[in-house]
Chains A and B, each alone.
Chain A
């Protein structure tokens, strides 16, 4: 089974802090994604990466950056956390064959105070 592991289930940070959310997958998938989930808005794509050191902006990249130094790890960075970034963050991965679903981690619920 594919395993996507997010390092924290819950995080509480203060406004202005730099925040790192980590995600690791164990199936050698090329593609990795970061989504945020808010009630009534579904999942919105922040960034995705299709290879090491490659990244593309999703629908809501503002206030976020990402890092993919190794194939198995995809980090989401909040440069200066704000209260409107309080949300559930979901990491996902998929191989690049175009025929596979997304596999999700359990999510990180981030609260910015």
Chain B
């Protein structure tokens, strides 16, 4: 499969911004996704970005895409304790293929 890389852990204080980074390898990926997984649960779609966009904002979430560097980031503004979870980025080069990173565990300290 394709290589999607994420750092494993991130720790922030409540109220700060969190930035989770991801690099991917398939430049033909049409869509890139961010999923959130809370303990004991499946993956919940947070947001996605189409490959012809540089940025997408959705309330506290901002996704930045640098296609040249194949770099995707998710910024969470005013991070809350309820944001503590594992965050996965995923790329999709075609309708049958989705490649996931290992997930970044976000710990929000009160």
Contact = CB atoms under 8 A, between A and B. Distances in A.
Q: Which of A9, A92, A98, A109 has the most CB of B within 10 A?
A: A98
Contacts of A92: 43
Interface of A: 4, 6, 9, 31, 33, 35, 40-43, 45, 48, 50, 56, 59, 90, 92, 94, 96-99, 101-107, 109
Interface string B32-50: 0101000011111100100
A98 B94 contact: yes
Interface string B20-37: 000000000011010100
A104 B33 CA distance: 13
Contacts of A105: 42
B42 A94 contact: no
B25 to A, nearest CB: 14
A104 B44 contact: yes
Contacts of B10: none
B62 interface: no
B73 interface: no
Interface stretch (B11-19, B52-60, B63-71, B97-105): B97-105
A101 B41 contact: no
> What 6 A-B pairs are tightest by C-beta distance, nearest first?
A98-B95, A104-B42, A42-B102, A43-B100, A104-B43, A106-B42
Contact of B95 (A4, A40, A96): A96
Contact of B41 (A96, A98, A107): A107
A102 B41 contact: no
Q: Which of A40, A43, A94, A106 has the most CB of B within 10 A?
A: A43
A40 B33 contact: no
B98 A97 contact: no
Nearest to A40: B102
Contacts of B94: 98
A45 B43 CA distance: 14
Given A48-B96, A56-B96, 16 more contacts: A31-B96, A40-B102, A42-B4, A42-B100, A42-B103, A94-B95, A98-B30, A98-B95, A101-B33, A101-B45, A101-B48, A101-B92, A102-B98, A106-B40, A107-B40, A107-B42
